[in-house]
Amino acid sequence: MAQLLDPEPAIRLVQAADAPLLARPYFADGTPSPITRSLAQVPELLDVTLPFIGAALGASALDERTKEIVILRASAVMECRYCVATHTVVALDCGLTAQEVAALRGNGAPQGFADGRERALIAWTEAVAAGRGSVEDACLDALREHFDEPAVVELTLVAATTLMLNRYASALRLPAAQATLARLREEGLA
């Protein structure tokens, strides 16, 4: 797993005082995330990207735990420091144990998931995140044993959206928020 200490960002993260007019609403409640602050350089993309991310990764028929397993495992496979750090905290807050989080963040196949549903979910996530071309039928069949087709579609979109964010955050070397890093230290996961 990549170190969580961040190098300097590759681009300037917009500050509230410098935010373009169309981006200012995103700064109204304080300091937004590094993703938002980077996208503020192109407000017309900010207005379409953030609602999409919110819809794909936000509340839905899938429970938070399931989504966070996908997000955290895909981010670990892709070695995205920003997303692993950020979603470690989210995963803990939605009920994953520190041991489960550590397993999902690790380099090998995550151990400690006795539930067949979650093992199939992790295998699917790894196949989507690390693979090329189609996912093998056996992996898809194992997922379908536990999830109906709408859930399979949504899980795949959660993984794909995470991959997009992983590449974005890694390419631009976005830093994790200081509060996130402090929480990771507090939990012994830094």
Confidence grade of residue 112 (pLDDT, cut at 50, 70, 90):
confident
When pLDDT is averaged across residues 83-90 and rounded to a whole number, the result is: 97
Superfamily of domain 64-186: AhpD-like (1.20.1290.10)
Predicted local confidence at residue 190, as pLDDT: 78
Distance CA 98, CA 78 (A): 20
Three-state DSSP at 23 gives helix
pLDDT at 75 over 80: yes
Cα–Cα distances in angstroms (integers) from residue 169 to residues 126, 134, 178, in the given order = 19, 25, 16
Q: What is the pTM of this model?
A: 0.92
Asked if 70 and 76 count as a contact pair (C-beta separation under 8 A), the reply is no
pLDDT by residue (tens digit) across 25-37? Answer: 999 998 899 999 9
Per-domain residue ranges of the chain: 16-57, 64-186
Predicted local confidence at residue 49, as pLDDT: 96
Residues 6 or more apart whose Cβ sits within 8 Å of residue 76: 1, 84, 104, 105, 106, 107
